[in-house]
């Protein structure tokens, strides 16, 4: 096993040495389900889908957990605005999440826990923190105050983000007016507020209320994967404070490392700003899929390294579409091969070995994709079925190239197959009668509708542009 991973905790690329190679345990922070997923969410889902695929291809057993946050301030606010229950809103948004993820070829995680189904575990964890002197009730609020985490009592705070308490204190502008002992402290259990709906409240030893966001992930991760597991992942924006707070909670309660390797994917940027709902510069996955095939969007994400920023624009998606078509065009040159079987890849093959070396170096998809294009160029020359099968199998490691080539190349056409074939036949008749002007007119008319004709000795075929 030669896999190396960039560990945010140590800020270096390290050899991957799991606790149990037969059962690698990975937790990834999922979505807060109050609205449709945007491309920033797609970036994270695709990135960790590639990670889980490569771990399995590499022979590791894997338990993959990606949670769902189905209770928080934004969810409560949106449900109230819509005049619906929290459960109605979150169920609907989870269904939409699954539709979007399925379209992008993202495998479902082994476990997808909902925060609302793990409140007892969260309460036990808060109780442990209280017993260890790391949690306290907000001052002046009596029995109904928030439960907070005392950041300065945890010696390791800041080790993931590299932030010192002094730096954080200097940048803290919030006055201690909410019963906190220190402005850096964060909430573990929020006391119920007047006007909040009943479905946003739970009874607890700490008063009626609901969990804070950070405690949700600590409880779900440790419940499903144990107090120490192999990989914890998420977007770069979660590194601080969310993941830093997870470490403080989990390690403060259990006295051992939460995760051995921390992976963070980069942002998708629009005009050099992070794509986010709060900035209002986001594009939902389903809106983008109205204009582009799902595999094009996936390829757009995969061909960049997961830790690098990724700039969104129609120009970049158009380029991704053209590039992916080159790979499918190469596959279309040979008779359809059987379904790709990654287990059958001969990793001693020079091309496969180059692909593996790229992926083993911190999931290096840009270099792995370059190998696919080199193999496609060879396939264009060789028309060799074995090369086609290898291209398809290596593509499967990234969740790519599993469609029928003609189906992909013809996707998005503005006319039906029968209408296009009728025009192709009319053009052939025009050429046969030496009416080349009419034949050219038909070609140009089809091209204007996004359909490109391709002539060959065996006849005329077409693909969308």
Binding residues: 29, 217, 242, 246, 277
Return all residues near 69 (Cβ < 8 A) that are at least 6 apart: 30, 31, 32, 33, 75, 115, 213, 216
Return all residues near 208 (Cβ < 8 A) that are at least 6 apart: 144, 191, 192, 201, 202
Query: Largest Cα–Cα distance of the chain, in whole Å?
Result: 94
Q: How far apart are the C-alpha atoms of 17 and 24, rounded to whole Å? A: 10
DSSP assignment letter at 138: P
Q: How far apart are the C-alpha atoms of 351 and 128, rounded to whole Å? A: 53
Does residue 26 contact residue 65 with C-beta atoms inside 8 Å? yes
Q: Which tokens hold the place of 414?
A: 């503005």
Q: Which tokens hold the place of 260?
A: 């051995």
Return all residues near 191 (Cβ < 8 A) that are at least 6 apart: 138, 141, 144, 145, 146, 206, 207, 208, 209
Q: Which long-range contacts (CB under 8 A, 24 or more apart) does 136-142 make?
A: 136/181, 137/206, 138/178, 138/179, 138/180, 138/191, 139/179, 139/180, 139/181, 140/179, 141/179, 141/191
Q: Which tokens hold the place of 393?
A: 């199998």
Q: In degrees, to the nearest 5, what angle opens at C-alpha 348 toward C-alphas 343 and 354?
A: 95
Residue numbers in the known binding site for ATP are 277
β-strand pairing of 12-15 with 24-28? unpaired
DSSP assignment letter at 176: S
Residue numbers in the known binding site for Zn(2+) are 29, 217, 242, 246
94, burial (CB in 10 Å: exposed 0-12, middle 13-18, buried 19+):
middle
Q: How far apart are the C-alpha atoms of 28 and 344, rounded to whole Å? A: 29
Beta-carbon count within 10 A of 47 CB? 26
Strands (DSSP E) along 92-151, which ranges? 135-137, 147-149
Q: Which tokens hold the place of 4?
A: 């190396």
**Read out DSSP for 299-333?**
HHHHTS-TTS-EE--HHHHHHHHHHHHHHHHHHTT
């Amino acid at each position: 096993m030669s896999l190396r991973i960039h560990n945010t905790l140590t800020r270096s690329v390290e050899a991957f040495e799991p606790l149990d190679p037969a059962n690698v345990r990975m937790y990834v922070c999922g979505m807060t389900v109050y609205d449709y997923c945007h491309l920033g969410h797609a970036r994270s889902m695709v990135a960790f889908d590639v990670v889980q695929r490569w771990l399995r291809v590499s022979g590791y057993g894997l338990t993959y957990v990606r949670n769902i946050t189905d209770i928080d301030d934004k969810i409560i606010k949106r449900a109230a605005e819509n005049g619906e229950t929290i459960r109605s809103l979150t169920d609907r948004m989870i269904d939409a999440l699954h539709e979007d993820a399925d379209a992008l070829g993202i495998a479902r995680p082994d476990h997808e826990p909902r925060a609302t189904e793990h409140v007892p575990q969260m309460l036990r964890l808060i109780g442990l923190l209280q017993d260890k002197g790391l949690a306290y009730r907000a001052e002046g609020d009596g029995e109904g105050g928030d439960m907070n985490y005392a950041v300065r009592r945890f010696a390791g705070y800041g080790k993931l983000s590299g932030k010192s308490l002094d730096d954080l204190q200097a940048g803290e502008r919030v006055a201690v007016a909410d019963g906190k002992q220190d402005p850096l402290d964060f909430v573990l259990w929020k006391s119920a507020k007047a006007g909040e709906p009943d479905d946003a409240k739970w009874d607890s030893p700490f008063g009626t209320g609901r969990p804070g966001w950070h405690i949700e992930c600590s409880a779900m991760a440790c419940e499903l994967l144990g107090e120490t597991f192999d990989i914890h992942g998420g977007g770069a924006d979660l590194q601080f404070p969310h993941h830093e707070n997870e470490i403080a909670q989990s390690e403060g309660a259990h006295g051992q490392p939460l995760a051995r390797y921390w992976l963070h994917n980069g942002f998708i940027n629009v005009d050099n700003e992070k794509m986010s709902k709060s900035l209002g510069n986001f594009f939902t996955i389903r809106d983008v899929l109205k204009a582009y095939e799902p595999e094009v969007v996936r390829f757009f994400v995969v061909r960049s390294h997961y830790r690098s920023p990724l700039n969104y624009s129609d120009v970049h998606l158009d380029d991704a579409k053209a590039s992916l078509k080159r790979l499918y065009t190469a596959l279309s040159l040979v008779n359809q091969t059987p379904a790709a079987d990654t287990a059958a890849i001969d990793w001693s093959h020079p091309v496969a070995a180059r692909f593996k070396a790229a992926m083993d170096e911190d999931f290096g998809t840009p270099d792995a994709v370059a190998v696919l294009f080199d193999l496609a160029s060879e396939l264009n020359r060789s028309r060799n079925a074995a090369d086609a099968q290898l291209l398809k199998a290596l593509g499967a490691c990234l969740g790519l190239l599993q469609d029928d080539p003609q189906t992909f190349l013809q996707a998005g056409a503005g006319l039906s197959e029968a209408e296009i074939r009728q025009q192709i036949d009319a053009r052939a008749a025009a050429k046969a009668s030496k009416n080349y002007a009419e034949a050219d007119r038909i070609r140009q008319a089809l091209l204007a509708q996004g359909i490109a004709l391709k002539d060959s000795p065996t006849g005329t075929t077409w693909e969308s542009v």
